[in-house]
Structure 1
Amino acid sequence: MIKKIAMQQSAIDSNCRVEDFICGKNVVAISKENKSARKYLNLPHICNLISYGDNIVASVSEKYKDVVEYYINKYPIEHCFETPNMHVLNDAFQKEGSRVCFMAEYFLPDISVLTPLPCDHELKILYPEDFKGLYTETWSNALCEKRKELDILGVGAYRDGTLIGLAACSADCETMWQIGVDVLPEHRRKGIASALTSRLAIEILESGKVPFYCCAWSNLRSARNAIKSGFRPAWVEMTVKPASTVNEMNM
């Protein structure tokens, strides 16, 4: 059920059918705006590739339908999301003033292993009114100042009354809330992140929503935390953005 809910949201985000993610062949859909899409998405997409493992669904501007369809059908699924094949897609879009920008792995909870993990510190459930004053660089993975109205629930770890770790979630869409987590550097590698993440995931499920977790493939610390906390890899995405956006992020 959890995976189906995630696919339903991906279908909304990609302007396709849920069945497209499990049909066994690659699909190209024309991207459109949708008020029910994840709030942080900037639709319509230039190009966004999604795979749950069996095929690729590409959500694209109609202008690029042919070039993307050719690309995803030329190379194996997993190779479309990495170099060297990725350069083929990037080179095609760079001629049009765009570049491959985001490459991310998404995780969903495995109910058979999800459990509240122990923590040596006091844990507290936090709500939006508790986040005031926390919109700083220190907690920028857990909270997002640009979309603070979406930050809806959190779990904090305290040592002697001082916040040392925070997991919080944003209500990115109607059915799914995304988890982010930060722990102060001097308190890392002590199981705090996984304790916070697992507790928050359970709180989200008890609220009737599906928790999800995202990180870059190279962020091994974050991926390890997801797995330790009871999450498992579910889908991957690769997104093309205007070159100006990529350049701005690099500065």
Structure 2
Amino acid sequence: MTKEEIWAAALRQSAVDLNCSPEDFGREHSVVVRSAPHAGARKYLSLPFFCDLVSYGGNVVASVAPEAEAAVRAYVERYAPEHCFETPNMNVLADALRPFGMRICFMAEYFLPDVSRMRQWDCGYALKVLGPADFAGLYRTEWSNALCEKRRELDVLAVGAYDGARLVGLAGCSADCESMWQIGVDVLPGYRRRGVAAALTSRLAAETLARGKVPFYCAAWSNIKSVRNAVKCGFVPAWAELTAKPEAFVRELNGQ
């Protein structure tokens, strides 16, 4: 799979998720569209969005509910794309959403593989490719990034690192949409900083590409260790995304 094919797949998927066209992400101006449900959207998304912003670097595409359109349009047209995802400008959006009972909730950076930079890393531990039957009993707290209990039917592939018979690291792929699988990785505390995460991630990315799917990687910009792992394994920044959620949902996430 070429770099061009990988990026084209991501743009098509983002267009499905946001109810726009792939070309909208490359326009010279920001774009605001009405959000709508779609059977092909990433499975973990709750559609329609009230407010979701995506930038591949050149502009912002905002997918919104009708009542949020005017406020969000004013915001994305006022500020440069990169500033729409950071404070202090982001406080303007937060204030505009507050009367609707909405709060800025999820913010993340997404990474795609650059096939020219990918390589396989060795960590000194045995690696094993696992299918759903192999990891069916691994839905535990220590592997909560690699596997998702709530959507276990989407977990399709994994790679485990073993110290003898002991599983010490696990990377898993979730088939979040037809063409793209998301990678998550966990390493036991006593085995971190030994290259285990990079070995697992690089192997799983290669296994995913070999199956004709695009691996993608998500991390908060403050999660430096996770971003470093992505970059080490040949992933490069692709898009940033910000999503608003109801205030009650945000309070629940905060344990309030």
The partner residue of 1:200 within 197, 201, 204 is 204
Q: Is 1:161 matched with 2:165?
A: yes
Aligned to 1:15: 19
Report sequence identity in percent: 59
Aligned to 2:213: 209
| 1:57 alignment partner AA | V
Aligned to 2:226: 222
CA distance in 2, matches of 1:229, 1:63: 42
Unmatched segments (≥5 aa) in structure 1: none
User: Structure 1 length normalisation: TM-score?
Assistant: 0.99
Q: CA deviation at 1:119?
A: 2.0
Q: How does 1:32-71 map to 2 (within 5 A)?
A: 32-71=36-75
Unmatched segments (≥5 aa) in structure 2: none
The CA deviation string for residues 156-214 of structure 1, in whole angstroms up to 9 with x for no partner, is 00001100000000000000000000000110001000010000000000000000000
| 1:4 alignment partner AA | A
Q: CA RMSD in A?
A: 0.6
CA distance in 1, matches of 2:210, 2:137: 27
Q: Is 1:74 matched with 2:67?
A: no
Aligned to 1:29: 33
Q: Is 1:103 matched with 2:107?
A: yes
CA distance in 1, matches of 2:80, 2:14: 21
Please state whether the residue corresponding to 1:68 is helix, strand or coil: helix
Tell me which stretches of 4 or more aligned residues in structure 1 moved more than 6 Å: none
CA distance in 2, matches of 1:124, 1:235: 31
Please state whether the residue corresponding to 1:37 is helix, strand or coil: coil
Q: CA deviation at 1:76?
A: 1.2
CA distance in 1, matches of 2:79, 2:23: 22
Q: Is 1:139 matched with 2:117?
A: no
The CA deviation string for residues 20-46 of structure 1, in whole angstroms up to 9 with x for no partner, is 000111000100000100000000000
The CA deviation string for residues 23-79 of structure 1, in whole angstroms up to 9 with x for no partner, is 111000100000100000000000000000000000000111110000001111111
CA distance in 2, matches of 1:127, 1:212: 19
| 1:235 alignment partner AA | W
